[in-house]
């Protein structure tokens, strides 16, 4: 079973307001929640239950943090859950993570991070076909065995930061920096056996301005 | 954290445009078959590694 919220070409008669309580839908037992066009204001964090998919329908769906509050994570993904095809931004307050992946085998696909961070703290997760735009938009991997593939990092100071984590694969991404960009891929020195493969990295012009920075021999930190 | 015995790998990436340093990796890591080209200013490639098969294009350092 699935639930669709909001108007779209496919569902032209849906008239749910953009203030729909998304969390109540997520907790309602449906496995797929689809949001139509519009900006959905969030003032409390969303928790996506295990095995549930939250996605936009391709007509322009925005999750917007509109509270003046300080929030650690706008959206938390539990094991096996998915987030797809929408834009995440902040118009107020302070957001540490746009998305926190806290459950194994969760997946993000086609998510646009507007100057906000994705933090992955569970194993076997995947991040694909996403856009990270703005200095504060990047992927923080505290995890093992994640796959970061086919993403665009644009105008970021750091694209992917692997933080003492092992067995991750960063493959087939495009990373475009700017004048203050410091790292395309930054791997913490104690990380071991990660692979950075087939990426196109350009214009990391800041100080120090590394394309790939991985200076410490593994196992020595 | 101890080493797994496996090697970190930076393989077959393309670097173009302006960098401070395109790649800096530890000596124990594999850094092979990368293409580093079209650098403009201030770019000093710093490959501290078994840098096999990396191709360096035009650089004006």
Identify the helix (H) or strand (E) that includes residue A197. strand A195-197
Listed range (A4-13, A137-146, A199-208) with the worst mean pLDDT: A4-13
DSSP-assigned letters across all residues of A11-66: STT----TT--HHHHHTTT-SEEEE-SEEEEESS-EEE-TT-EEEE-SS-EEEEE-
Nearest-neighbour CA in chain B from A120: distance (Å): 20
Residue of B16, B19, B26 with shortest CB distance to A217: B26
- The pTM for the full model equals 0.88
Asked if the Cβ–Cβ distance from A212 to B11 is below 8 Å, we say no
CB pairs under 8 A between A and B: 108
| Model confidence band, residue B2 (pLDDT cutoffs 50, 70, 90) | very low
CB atoms within 10 A of CB B56: 15
Nearest-neighbour CA in chain B from A150: distance (Å): 13
What is the three-class DSSP state of A157?
A: coil
Q: Kindly report the CA angle at A86 between A29 and A202, in degrees rounded to 5?
A: 140
pLDDT digits (tens, 9 = 90+) for A64-123: 999 999 999 999 999 999 999 999 999 999 999 999 999 999 999 999 999 999 999 999
A179 touches chain B (CB under 8 A): no
Q: Taking CB atoms and an 8 Å cutoff, what residues of chain A touch B11?
A: 195-198
The residue with greater pLDDT, B18 or A157, is: A157
Mutate one of B11, B23, B47 to test the A interface: name it (highest A CB count within 10 A): B23
Tell the residue number behind the tokens 């790998």, with chain if given.
B9
pLDDT at B41 over 50: no
CA–CA gap between residue A201 and residue A39 (Å, rounded): 32
Q: Which residues of B touch A (CB under 8 A)?
A: 1-4, 6-29, 48
pLDDT digits (tens, 9 = 90+) for A140-176: 999 999 999 999 999 999 999 999 899 999 999 999 9
| Nearest in space to A58 (alpha carbons), one of A22, A95, A112, A94 | A112
Residue of B8, B17, B24 with shortest CB distance to A218: B8
Please check whether residue B34 is in contact with residue B11, taking contact to mean a CB–CB distance below 8 angstroms: yes
Residue of B9, B19, B29 with shortest CB distance to A197: B9
Q: Taking CB atoms and an 8 Å cutoff, what residues of chain B touch A197?
A: 9-13
ipTM: 0.83
Asked if the Cβ–Cβ distance from A210 to B19 is below 8 Å, we say yes
pLDDT attached to residue A124: 96
- The token duo for A51 is 């095995």
pLDDT at A130 over 80: yes
Please check whether residue B20 is in contact with residue A204, taking contact to mean a CB–CB distance below 8 angstroms: yes
pLDDT at B49 over 50: no
Nearest-neighbour CA in chain B from A123: distance (Å): 17
The residue with greater pLDDT, A190 or A6, is: A190
Nearest-neighbour CA in chain A from B49: distance (Å): 10
Residue of B nearest to A197 (CA): B11
pLDDT attached to residue A79: 98
């Amino acid at each position: 079973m699935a639930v669709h919220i909001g108007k779209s070409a496919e569902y032209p008669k849906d008239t749910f307001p953009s203030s729909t309580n998304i969390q109540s839908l997520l907790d309602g037992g449906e496995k797929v929640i689809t949001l139509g066009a519009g900006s959905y204001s969030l003032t409390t964090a969303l928790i996506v239950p295990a095995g549930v998919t939250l996605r936009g329908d391709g007509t322009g769906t925005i999750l917007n943090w509109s509270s003046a509050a300080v929030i650690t994570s706008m959206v938390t993904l539990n094991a096996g859950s998915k987030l797809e095809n929408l834009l995440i931004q902040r118009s107020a307050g302070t957001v540490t993570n746009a998305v926190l992946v806290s459950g194994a085998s969760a997946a993000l696909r086609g998510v646009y991070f507007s100057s906000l961070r994705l933090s992955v703290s569970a194993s076997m997760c995947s991040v694909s076909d996403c856009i990270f735009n703005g200095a504060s938009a990047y992927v923080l991997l505290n995890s093992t065995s994640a796959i970061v593939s086919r993403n665009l990092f644009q105008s970021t100071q750091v694209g992917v930061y692997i933080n003492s984590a092992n067995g991750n694969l960063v493959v087939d991404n495009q990373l475009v920096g700017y004048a203050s960009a410091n790292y395309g891929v930054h791997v913490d020195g104690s990380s071991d056996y990660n692979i950075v493969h087939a990426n196109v990295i350009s214009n990391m012009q800041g100080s120090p301005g590394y394309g790939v920075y991985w200076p410490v021999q593994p196992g020595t930190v | 954290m101890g080493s797994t015995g496996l090697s970190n790998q930076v393989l077959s990436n393309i670097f173009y445009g302006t960098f401070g340093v395109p790649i800096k990796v530890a000596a124990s890591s594999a850094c092979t078959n990368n293409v580093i080209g079209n650098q403009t200013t201030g770019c000093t490639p710093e490959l501290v590694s078994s840098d096999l098969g990396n191709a360096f294009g035009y650089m004006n350092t």
